[in-house]
Structure 1
Amino acid sequence: MHRQNDLMKRINNSYPKLSKGQKLLANYILEHYEKAVFLTAAKLGKIVGVSESTVVRFANELGYDGYPKLQRALEELVKTKLTSFQRVEVTSDRIDKNHVLKSVLQSDAEKIKHTLEEIDEDIFNEATSMILGARKIYILGVRSCASLAGFLGFYFNLIFDNTKLIHTNSVSEMFEQIYRIGPEDVVIGISFPRYSKRTKKAMEFAKNRDAQVIAITDSYLSPLIQFADCSLIARSDMASFVDSLVAPLSLINALIVALCIKKQDEVLDTLENLEKVWSEYQVYDNEEDYNMNYNIQSKNNTDMLE
């Protein structure tokens, strides 16, 4: 059975030996997992008609170390199964409709906090070493994760001269862009619920070609993990149908900074040369442009007053 259905597998395997009350809990979760995911142990017990302690024993019976671990497994299940429409329905109660801005920002801040607490710094350092030693670096992310891949690709192009951003939604074109992958290359695959089959298949292809594979995803239950040599985990969640990618972006930002520090001399040299190009071709506004625009605006305001 697929990894993301691990909870369902545990319930089905344990069902015959469950008590009457635990079977009620199992049935409710199987039929209403999208609602159960947001319930505390006490609320779940009240809805089903059992005690809170029965809920805790039920979690233990399934092999989870307490109810919070069961709830985390439910979150993984929900993220992979719900459609965008269903996500809006089941998450509407979590948002304070009178304070949407505060609710969403607070939720995003919590995702970064959880990511900081859970991430393995040794694995992070291993990923930077893989990237530094690669002959070629392939970056892959589609749909909502395309923005993360593009951000990573933009800065990697400033740091390295061997980066390739895979920027197509066509499966055939994707494989055409990565078919030369070999053992000395690194592939960075980025995917968050709902997971992209294209990204998964590309990572499987890279793994079969003996390339080193780095997964940036939200959980060790992610389908990307089975093909990854190194997994960087950042919390993601659904505030509605919008994917919360703040923590993944922060993780990617940390990866870029770490690599910049490792290649500081080359990066400084590159940026020095690019500043000359940017200045010559007027890529960015400079102080002279700002002063000129300010003077024109001031003159226009004076003319209007007169």
Structure 2
Amino acid sequence: MGTTEDGGDAAEAGAGVGAGLGAVLGAGAGEGAAEGASARLLKLFESHRLTPTQRRIAHCLVRRSADAPFLSSVEVAELAGVSQPSVTRFAVALGFDGYPALRRHLREVAPVRPGPEAAPFNEYQQAVHAEIENLRHLAALLADPAPVARAGAVLAASRPLPVLGLRAAGAQARGFAYFAAKVHPDVRLLDEGGTMFADRVDGAVRAGASALLCFALPRHPREVVEALTYARQAGLTVVTVADSAFAPVAACSDLLLPAAVGTGLAFDTACAPMLLGRVLLESMCDHLPDAQASLEEFDARAAARGLFTD
């Protein structure tokens, strides 16, 4: 299984964890009735302060909203990669006597029966199908384009625009920064934390930056939470693309845009976060009046230099 446990402190993931973009849909809601079930589960979970392990269980139940009411505590523990006693403690933290009481409640608030068993797939096919589901979840989330449009406007207006990605999220941040630099006049990739991050944020703020974009993926380094806290203290509006509304970075983000990662292989897969990053780029272009001219200018220079073979 992929390494998906939340790192860092037991951040406050209760009230406000669902803020921004109808967050739970990006954390794994399906279509139709499953969306309603996921929303009801989020409403139950988001009013409590959960530990990282409990957030992981909540994330698992939201993603499996269709069959969550019918899973045993042992099955939930296996799916979430935690111990069975952790599932019991999770139920108690939500105010129930134990997991059986929580499951009865889930059958009342999210009564979606599991569908028929799918044809068996090997582990590689399962990973691909899981990513397809993550993309479907993202498509459902984007049915309301307003949050992405708002994020695009915030990012487009920031001159310069710092883009943060540490460890596993570094590739997402680098890809975004590469393309964003073709339409935005000053994009600054931040790929290290600590005092160097603080120096570069201070420099960006002095140069006029008003926002920061962060890609945050499991496992979540403690330094990402520290970095975003510092960025907000410096006066930047923090827009974060994260794997879940329950991610530790939720409490230190002004706008959280969730896109689930795949966990079926030894290393997590991040197709949905990458695609959400491209959607954000599109929204940014909509708010940059010179974007099309910049792209045409780049194409002309590339052709003159023979930059590409095609």
TM over 0.5: yes
Q: Quick check: 1:57 aligned with 2:80?
A: no
8 Å contact from structure 1 (residues 59, 66) kept in 2: no
More helix, by proportion: 1
3-state SS of paired residue (2:140): helix
Q: 1:237-266 CA distances to partner (integer Å, 9 max, x unpaired)?
A: 311221120011111111112222333x52
Q: Quick check: 1:163 aligned with 2:206?
A: no
The corresponding residue for 1:110 is 133
Q: TM-score, normalised by structure 2?
A: 0.62
Q: 1:99-139 CA distances to partner (integer Å, 9 max, x unpaired)?
A: 34432221110001112223553221211121122232110
8 Å contact from structure 1 (residues 134, 186) kept in 2: yes
8 Å contact from structure 1 (residues 181, 206) kept in 2: no
Unaligned stretches of 5+ residues in structure 2: 1-9, 14-49, 58-70, 88-97, 113-119
3-state SS of paired residue (1:231): strand
Unaligned stretches of 5+ residues in structure 1: 12-24, 45-53, 69-95, 287-306
Could you say which structure has the larger radius of gyration?
1
Identity %: 14
Q: How does 1:127-146 map to 2 (within 5 A)?
A: 127-146=151-170
Residues 246 and 8 (structure 1), Cα distance of their counterparts in 2 relative to 1, 3 Å cut: closer
Q: How does 1:27-38 map to 2 (within 5 A)?
A: 34-35=77-78, 37=80
Residue 61 of structure 1: CA displacement?
Answer: 6.3
Q: Which amino acid aligns with 2:249?
A: L
Residues 34 and 58 (structure 1), Cα distance of their counterparts in 2 relative to 1, 3 Å cut: closer
Count of residue pairs brought into register by the alignment: 227
Q: How does 1:1-306 map to 2 (within 5 A)?
A: 1-2=10-11, 3=13, 5=51, 8=54, 34-35=77-78, 37=80, 57-59=101-103, 65-66=109-110, 99-119=122-142, 120-168=144-192, 171-182=194-205, 184-263=209-288, 266-286=290-310
Q: Which amino acid aligns with 1:190?
A: F
Residue 220 of structure 1: CA displacement?
Answer: 1.8
Q: TM-score, normalised by structure 1?
A: 0.63
Q: Which amino acid aligns with 1:246?
A: C
The corresponding residue for 1:290 is none
Residues 34 and 193 (structure 1), Cα distance of their counterparts in 2 relative to 1, 3 Å cut: farther
Residues 270 and 181 (structure 1), Cα distance of their counterparts in 2 relative to 1, 3 Å cut: closer
Distance 2:298 2:137 in 1: 37
